[in-house]
C-alpha cells in the first residue's frame, strides 16, 4: 500500500482501517450458505474503531499484516497468534 508521505505510525493505522473498510464493507456480496449480515458489519465497525484507537492491539494486527510479505509468510507460519 502506498501512503505517500504520511508518517509511519499514521500510515500503519490508516492502512489498517482502510484495509478493514475494504474487506468488511465492500466486495461482492454473494449468497453464501453463511454470510455476515449488514447489521453485523456495522457492529464490527463499532468495535474496530475501538480497536484501532488501541495502539497495542493495532500493533498486534499490523505484525500480522507484515507477514503478508510472502517470503516471511512461508517461514513464520505459526508465530503471531499463538499467545
Partner 1 sequence: MESSKPNSRETPNRTDGTGYYVYCIADSLAAQEIVQGPVPNAIEENVALELITRNSLTAVVSVVPLSEFGEDALESRLADATWTAIHAMRHEQVVEHFASRTSVVPLRFGTIYLDSAGIEQMLGENEKKLSEIVERLRGRVEWGVNIYCNRQTLMDNITNLSPRLRQMREEAKEASPGQAYLLQKKIETQRADEAKVEIARAVDDIEQVLNQHSDGSTKLRILKVETTEHGELKAKFAFLVLKAEFESFRDAAEELAQTMEQSGIRIELTGPWPAYNFASD
Residue with cell 465497525: 45
In the complex, the residues that contact partner 1 under the rule CB under 8 A are 1-4, 6-7, 10, 14-37, 40, 43-45, 47-51, 57, 60-61, 64-65, 67-68, 70, 73-74, 77-78, 80-81
Q: What's the min distance (Å) between Cβ of 6 and partner 1? A: 7
Which of 29, 27, 18 shows the shortest CA–CA distance to 62?
Answer: 18
Conformational region of residue 28, where left means phi above 0, alpha means psi within -120 to 50, and beta covers everything else: beta
Q: What's the min distance (Å) between Cβ of 55 and partner 1? A: 13
Q: What's the min distance (Å) between Cβ of 37 and partner 1? A: 8
CA distances from 80 to 51, 60, 64, 76 (A): 17, 8, 6, 8
Amino acid at each position: 500500500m502506498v501512503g505517500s508521505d504520511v508518517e509511519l505510525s499514521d500510515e500503519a493505522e490508516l492502512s489498517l482501517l482502510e484495509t478493514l473498510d475494504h474487506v468488511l464493507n465492500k466486495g461482492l456480496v454473494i449468497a453464501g450458505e453463511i454470510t455476515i449480515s449488514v447489521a453485523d458489519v456495522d457492529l464490527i465497525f463499532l468495535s474496530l474503531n475501538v480497536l484501532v484507537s488501541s495502539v497495542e492491539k493495532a500493533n498486534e494486527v499490523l505484525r500480522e499484516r507484515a507477514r503478508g510479505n510472502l517470503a516471511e509468510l512461508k517461514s513464520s507460519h505459526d508465530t503471531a497468534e499463538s499467545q
